[in-house]
Structure 1
């Protein structure tokens, strides 16, 4: 636990990628497998759900620190993070634990779930008395289910690759899908023999950067293929040894969520892996909001399956006849994908994502202009000789999205952020005008500089009108230009509309609240889209 807490501090104190990888590699080089397995688990984004309610932890911390509720609340309001607030208020125990991370997770943390409140309280307070400040901070982060430290899985992969000498793609492959943080798994993760592909395990997804520069900078247009960029769920469909598995890019096994796709995939040849986009589809794409209707349901009855049919828009072939073909040129993979889709009687559930037929960049530019009319987000540009890479890489694939919708809205609610932003008000709700009142329209938390965030935070603290739990209602004075990718009618929202990927483009200090847009403007956008 001591070394893991030190690692957490090292990672939290730097923003430099190289330093993070160095710290991770040093930890994994020295950590025993039983500790390293749990470290990989937590650092790659997997964490236990909140084991104990926040109000209980706060009450136990107040008791242990002998501080009144008002003082705890003031400290929490200043710090903004429960785990950190508790670790700062707890009296110095004078202790420091040399027990391994595995002990603290498997014997102290996870058993809390099955204990009654009295036993939980006793165990948590006992743990606080055995840990120093940094260790208690990490322990609190694990208990609250809020363990975040600014490390992506790709950095963990780089560190493990450095320690083991195994190629990054093999390490990334082994981390995909379901696994348990055991010593055996960790040793397998570092094993030199890379022929251990699990039956159900997907390949790491290849991701594209946004297009940089002009189209002509990519060279000859005949060396590229353009495709529509769809707004769905990026997925891999796997057919191996008579079984079907569907994985999302978020590493969720979603086979049961899409029974019609699983049924269609059963007709694929064994040893096939397709990469594509799950789309709500009825003779063409439906709005993403329709797909969300399915995603949010625990059970899928005949009614919702009929109302929101789906299809896989397949755009790459990663495995055929049980052979990994990711290193083959894209043109080779695409040709065989076309043959496979034509030969598979999938009842329209597995479709070939259509290519854009353009002889030159002018044709591609015209297709990009037409993308929104086709309910596409833009275009994907794929070099015909490019292999299928791992993670986000430049050069082989580029994404070229259409210009977003924009409008001006007023900040009306704010709440604190997470991680490094836990002490700042960075998550905002914006309103637009309707009949002389501001109605909530969208939430956004990205797009501002650090300096702007600090200014908005100060404004929120000075101009709070009401508090509702963590949310503050603020004076409607600040105007921001928002951007979003899509717009759809939604009876679940007070404004009657829902947007996709809202973010702040800029703080409109030149505008007054009455200059912000109205709901009527948004309805006009919907009508222009034919929705």
Structure 2
């Protein structure tokens, strides 16, 4: 397939919001692609170069892309600036200023390989090299192709579908039914690389999936929880249960293999282990991944080091929770403190100031053998035998019971430790990758009205939607509380749930009527939360949340956990929003846990 034909498919996808039409277009596109290019086409249509967990970054922002377009097409700075101001999308600008090149001789694979090389450029003079390489590529292709390549590089493709839609298309391609779709989705959850899945099906049909297996270095879609708030209902629904403390941490999947080749350089490997001379030069593959399947290894050098030292295994995949704690008091810290590592360059030093505990609660693979089909009881038994004593990795404590009153007592114990509550699991259940079922239930303080009252916040701007929300033009919005002392609005949370599809569209249309070209003068916003569209601080909304915690990123100094919109407060002026002093008062009534 040449790049011009590929761009035509992307254009069809952009011009419909109907799921069935999107699925049909994807099926036709996959059908037209060769086996060797189908993975590349799928990645690019999703705005990626590889699967999410290993996708390289272009590190090209709008300012540099303007330079690329100027260098490639020479439209003149004033015209380029005017078009960008008018269209607000550099892909559309490229469509306008590109030449009349036919682009018939440029294949999809050619462009993909060029983009892989582009993303790999780094070091001294990298910006100039990227501008030169990308501009040279753009002038070889037609206008429509240039539009989508610009968007792919900027990460603004937004065609309104996700990997799950691709699974629907693949199922349609092989004329499958609900059972075949479930098999494809099950394989994807165990090996979430949609390019690999598509290539196997394209080559050998459903039988090709037999070659797709669990693998160290390929994160597994984590199992998720349902919610119940009554111990009697929990026991009635689940029978005998295994309950564990729920920590205010972050989900981390650990992959370690003492025999797997390391792709990173020795210096990269050494940088993980700080001053630990014993581990420097160690040829051990170790990675950590977030619940969103992102590689987080360099945020958690302490977990990576502990995996090598504390795990009695040749290879292993663990599921668990990372929790930061105060090294002087032992008290657990809000999960936002851990998230600070994402922005720190000197993570190793930061890890010394805010150390972690990694509470392992599941084992998914051991020494090359998948364990997901074993019962939870069996998996925990295996897990307990491979963790050596140490400062970082611990087996998460559990309590087995079939009595509601005992479950309630264990829940009360979690409250005395100021923990979030419990995760209650069926001991005889297999690990259900990617599923949200009643095999795991979240029994939290929040379900007992932890945050007793709602909070009124002011909307400062919104973020463009991604995936399924792309068609709404908004995926979430940034909100703030009012600080009377400084007469400013200080950010406290981003909100992206609690609205129906229609409400998303309606609110975005309402916000567009008050959009402005820069941050509101009275808004105090960390650049970490820069929005795609700023609005005048006029609309007040009521939000609920599970909990209020301290934040080093939000300028209010606090953040709402799991916020959801309840309604627009037409009766509130912006200055009538919840005040910063009220937020401080709410927080004072909450404690941090220790264990």
Equivalent-residue separation in structure 2 for 1:241 and 1:379 (angstroms): 34
Alignment pair present for 1:288 and 2:335: yes
User: Once the 2 structures are TM-superposed, how far is the Cα of residue 512 of structure 1 from its aligned partner?
Assistant: 3.1
Match of 1:72 among 83, 86, 98: 83
Equivalent-residue separation in structure 1 for 2:345 and 2:202 (angstroms): 33
Instruction: Rate the CA distance shift 1:69–1:158 in 2: closer, same or farther, 3 A.
Output: closer
Instruction: Rate the CA distance shift 1:331–1:306 in 2: closer, same or farther, 3 A.
Output: same
Instruction: Rate the CA distance shift 1:150–1:224 in 2: closer, same or farther, 3 A.
Output: farther
Alignment pair present for 1:31 and 2:39: no
Equivalent-residue separation in structure 2 for 1:241 and 1:216 (angstroms): 45
Instruction: Rate the CA distance shift 1:17–1:481 in 2: closer, same or farther, 3 A.
Output: same
Provide the residue aligned with 1:428 in structure 2: 478
1:195-210, aligned counterparts within 5 Å? 197-210=214-227
Match of 1:82 among 81, 87, 90: 90
Equivalent-residue separation in structure 2 for 1:19 and 1:368 (angstroms): 48
CA-to-aligned-CA distance 1:82-139 (integer Å, 9 cap, x gap): 323443x347838464632111232478459566588458526624xx4143x33312
Instruction: Structure 1: state its 5+ residue gaps.
Output: none
CA-to-aligned-CA distance 1:130-164 (integer Å, 9 cap, x gap): 4143x333122123232333333344456557768
Match of 2:375 among 315, 326, 329: 329
- Which has the higher mean CA deviation after the structures are superposed, 240-249 or 182-191? 182-191
What is the TM-score with the length of structure 2 in the denominator?
Answer: 0.72
Match of 1:105 among 96, 102, 112: 112
User: Once the 2 structures are TM-superposed, how far is the Cα of residue 455 of structure 1 from its aligned partner?
Assistant: 1.6
Match of 2:312 among 268, 289, 314: 268
CA-to-aligned-CA distance 1:351-408 (integer Å, 9 cap, x gap): 2222355544455466657756544444323223321122134343333452564543
User: Once the 2 structures are TM-superposed, how far is the Cα of residue 280 of structure 1 from its aligned partner?
Assistant: 1.5
**Secondary structure of 1:332 counterpart:** helix
**Secondary structure of 2:211 counterpart:** coil
CA-to-aligned-CA distance 1:181-239 (integer Å, 9 cap, x gap): 99899979984553765454443322334559996387345333333333323222334
Provide the residue aligned with 2:7 in structure 1: 5
User: Once the 2 structures are TM-superposed, how far is the Cα of residue 519 of structure 1 from its aligned partner?
Assistant: 1.4
User: Once the 2 structures are TM-superposed, how far is the Cα of residue 528 of structure 1 from its aligned partner?
Assistant: 0.9
1:150-189, aligned counterparts within 5 Å? 150-157=160-167, 159=169, 167-175=184-192
Equivalent-residue separation in structure 2 for 1:319 and 1:379 (angstroms): 25
Instruction: Rate the CA distance shift 1:34–1:69 in 2: closer, same or farther, 3 A.
Output: same
Instruction: Rate the CA distance shift 1:490–1:333 in 2: closer, same or farther, 3 A.
Output: closer
Match of 1:352 among 370, 386, 395: 395
User: Once the 2 structures are TM-superposed, how far is the Cα of residue 36 of structure 1 from its aligned partner?
Assistant: 1.6
CA-to-aligned-CA distance 1:27-82 (integer Å, 9 cap, x gap): 33431234222223333554642446143256569954998367425522xxx433
Alignment pair present for 1:93 and 2:100: yes
Contact 1:38 1:181 in 2 (8 A): no
Instruction: Structure 2: state its 5+ residue gaps.
Output: 175-179, 260-283, 524-529
Contact 2:551 2:559 in 1 (8 A): yes
Provide the residue aligned with 1:504 in structure 2: 565
Equivalent-residue separation in structure 1 for 2:73 and 2:572 (angstroms): 45
**Secondary structure of 1:219 counterpart:** helix
Match of 2:159 among 149, 155, 170: 149
Alignment pair present for 1:318 and 2:335: no
Instruction: Rate the CA distance shift 1:463–1:101 in 2: closer, same or farther, 3 A.
Output: closer
Equivalent-residue separation in structure 1 for 2:322 and 2:204 (angstroms): 32
Provide the residue aligned with 1:458 in structure 2: 513
Contact 1:415 1:471 in 2 (8 A): yes
- Which has the higher mean CA deviation after the structures are superposed, 58-67 or 374-383? 58-67
Provide the residue aligned with 2:585 in structure 1: 524
- Which has the higher mean CA deviation after the structures are superposed, 161-170 or 378-387? 161-170
Equivalent-residue separation in structure 2 for 1:471 and 1:464 (angstroms): 10
Equivalent-residue separation in structure 2 for 1:332 and 1:307 (angstroms): 37
**Secondary structure of 2:513 counterpart:** helix
User: Once the 2 structures are TM-superposed, how far is the Cα of residue 500 of structure 1 from its aligned partner?
Assistant: 3.8
Instruction: Rate the CA distance shift 1:356–1:457 in 2: closer, same or farther, 3 A.
Output: farther
Equivalent-residue separation in structure 2 for 1:492 and 1:201 (angstroms): 31
Contact 1:28 1:36 in 2 (8 A): yes
Provide the residue aligned with 2:269 in structure 1: none
1:177-256, aligned counterparts within 5 Å? 191-194=208-211, 197-211=214-228, 216=233, 219-241=236-258, 243=284, 245-249=286-290, 250-256=292-298
Equivalent-residue separation in structure 2 for 1:117 and 1:329 (angstroms): 51
- Which has the higher mean CA deviation after the structures are superposed, 513-522 or 156-165? 156-165
Provide the residue aligned with 2:427 in structure 1: 384
Contact 1:33 1:186 in 2 (8 A): yes
User: Once the 2 structures are TM-superposed, how far is the Cα of residue 476 of structure 1 from its aligned partner?
Assistant: 4.1
Contact 1:373 1:529 in 2 (8 A): no
Instruction: Rate the CA distance shift 1:507–1:2 in 2: closer, same or farther, 3 A.
Output: same
Equivalent-residue separation in structure 2 for 1:83 and 1:55 (angstroms): 10
Equivalent-residue separation in structure 2 for 1:396 and 1:140 (angstroms): 44
Contact 2:69 2:135 in 1 (8 A): no
Higher strand proportion (structure 1 or 2):
1
CA-to-aligned-CA distance 1:290-327 (integer Å, 9 cap, x gap): 323434323344x5333222122111121235321211
Provide the residue aligned with 1:309 in structure 2: 355
Equivalent-residue separation in structure 1 for 2:443 and 2:25 (angstroms): 36
Equivalent-residue separation in structure 2 for 1:105 and 1:309 (angstroms): 41
Instruction: Rate the CA distance shift 1:68–1:15 in 2: closer, same or farther, 3 A.
Output: closer
Equivalent-residue separation in structure 1 for 2:118 and 2:319 (angstroms): 39
Provide the residue aligned with 2:66 in structure 1: 55
